[in-house]
Structure 1
Amino acid sequence: MDLHKENHPTSSTSTSTSTPTPKQNPTSKIPYNYWQINAPPSSIYHPSHASFSSSSKECPPFLLRTVLPPKDLITISTPNHLYKLDTWPEVVQRVRENKLADFQRTPADMWRYLEFCYNIKQEWKGGVKEFILTRRLKWEWPGPVVAKGTGFYEGCEERGDVKILWNDWPYGIDERIVHLVVWTKFELEDDPATGDLTDEARGEIDEYVKMTFGGKVPEEHIIWFKNWAHIKSVKAVEHFHVMLFDPDPEFVKEITNGDVPLGIIQTK
């Protein structure tokens, strides 16, 4: 079974998107205090917070209408309990149809994710790229990331050319689905004509995924994808995503070297 079967559009413009059309204009019904709907209790923007004040009633800079795409604005304005998590069959179908832009975080996670990214950009000179390379991957900074070998090869993780970590801010999916990110020091080649992976790169990734995860997780419980450039949240460091349905927690702990996603750490 091919772990990454999909229909490949001929250009990035044919990729599915959840951005509403002007005719629909659902954002016109967004509540005036939309930023409070999913504010975590620990935030000063939550009405029950001890430090909630008149200034807290103003929209935080990372949630302003002028900076949020319509899709994110709608998500933030949706009460978290109304959000429906994607099932495993829905995840598999979405990846196979290459409708990657339809993935989204739960409203509560989206709120915390946008705040996190905003704070990172304020605190780190090199922004998200510096944070990812130094704090999460512990790779070179500043300067170019240089691989010790070429492409995927036996022992590439041990030599530091590939690192598997949890997705810090996973999508709104069934809680039994483990969402990992495979970071590489080498380029995963895209076809400039389509913006999608070349057939050769896709084959190399597919073989790596089978070799790395296939022996521990049933093939029908594995799916992988690489986001199109225009929907990547981290554009400066090469990576692709792997989702596993209900894998052995010990295997996940081993493959990630005990990594813990930042989304969980931030809630403690």
Structure 2
Amino acid sequence: MTIERKVKPGGPFTWTQIQQIVKSNNLEMFARSEDQFRKYSKFKNDLSSNGITINDHVLKEELEWKQSDIRSQTATTPPQEYSTSNPQDLIFYNPDDIKIIYNKFPYYFEESVVHLCVWSKLTIPNDINSPAGDISPLTKRIIERYLQKTFLEKGISKQDMVWFRNWSSLQSVRSVSHIHVLLHNVDDGILQKLLKSPGNTLTIEDYRT
């Protein structure tokens, strides 16, 4: 198994650079250091040599979920992405659907940055109007409300958090939906309470408003 060689020359991405990249949606700019890339490549090749996919590893070893747990929306009808009459199809609504963990192989960020992934058993749908596989403005607003409740209302400053979901073409794990959350100078006590939890999931009222 081979992966695209993307290595960040020089020093790590600073928080200011990270904010600019996410704001401009130039997510393809993120890369690992030479050492990080080598370790990540070896990890994936070792999995492959043992007949294990990265998707299966993440599910079993990191999330402790089963493939049968993963599901897509079933009842909503396009062009409506979400319906409160079908709560099983609402992302970041069911606590059992969500888990926050460290990114085991983060990009090359300065030491003050923590790289988390928020994983979802329910597929986060792509925007049908995005050729690159981005998410819709509505989905972004829903995710931002979840992040507000989970991180900002816990005391993390808005200036110290950015998030993104890689477009489909950039994802290394595609069968399990997840978003990336980057925190700057976060209090470790807050962080430890969030890890392996679902965070503060959304309510029907959150969706209605």
Tell me the TM-score range normalised by the shorter chain: 0.7 to 0.9
Q: 1:193 to 1:111 in 2, by over 3 A?
A: same
CA distance in 2, matches of 1:144, 1:178: 28
Matched, 1:204 2:129: no
Question: Of residues 87, 91, 109 in structure 2, which corresponds to 1:151?
Answer: 91
User: Which residue of the partner structure matches residue 56 of structure 1?
Assistant: none
TM-score where L is the length of structure 2: 0.79
> Retained in 1: the 8 A contact 2:113–2:183?
yes
**Residue segments in structure 2 that go unaligned for 5+ positions in a row:** 73-86, 198-209
**Residue segments in structure 1 that go unaligned for 5+ positions in a row:** 1-61, 259-268
Question: Of residues 250, 253, 258 in structure 1, which corresponds to 2:192?
Answer: 253
Q: 1:124 to 1:132 in 2, by over 3 A?
A: farther
Deviation at 1:199, TM superposition (A): 1.4
> Retained in 2: the 8 A contact 1:124–1:130?
no
Matched, 1:233 2:172: yes
User: Which residue of the partner structure matches residue 242 of structure 1?
Assistant: 181
CA distance in 2, matches of 1:192, 1:209: 24
CA distance in 1, matches of 2:70, 2:122: 8
Identity percentage of aligned residues: 26
Which amino acid is 2:36 matched to? D
> Retained in 1: the 8 A contact 2:63–2:99?
yes
User: Which residue of the partner structure matches residue 151 of structure 2?
Assistant: 213
Which amino acid is 1:250 matched to? G
Which amino acid is 1:213 matched to? F
CA distance in 2, matches of 1:83, 1:188: 35
CA distance in 2, matches of 1:161, 1:236: 14
Question: Of residues 118, 123, 133 in structure 1, which corresponds to 2:45?
Answer: 118
Deviation at 1:94, TM superposition (A): 0.3
> Retained in 2: the 8 A contact 1:88–1:177?
yes
User: Which residue of the partner structure matches residue 170 of structure 1?
Assistant: 106
Which amino acid is 1:168 matched to? K
> Retained in 2: the 8 A contact 1:83–1:107?
no
User: Which residue of the partner structure matches residue 263 of structure 1?
Assistant: none
Alignment root-mean-square deviation, CA: 2.1
Deviation at 1:214, TM superposition (A): 0.2
User: Which residue of the partner structure matches residue 161 of structure 1?
Assistant: 97
Larger CA Rg, structure 1 vs 2: 1
Deviation at 1:122, TM superposition (A): 2.1
CA distance in 2, matches of 1:116, 1:109: 11
Matched, 1:135 2:61: yes
Encode CA deviations 1:219-263: one digit per residue, 9 max, x unaligned.
Answer: 1111000001111111111001000101001211111149xxxxx
CA distance in 2, matches of 1:102, 1:250: 31
The one of the two structures with greater contact order (alpha-carbon pairs below 8 A, sep at least 6) is 2
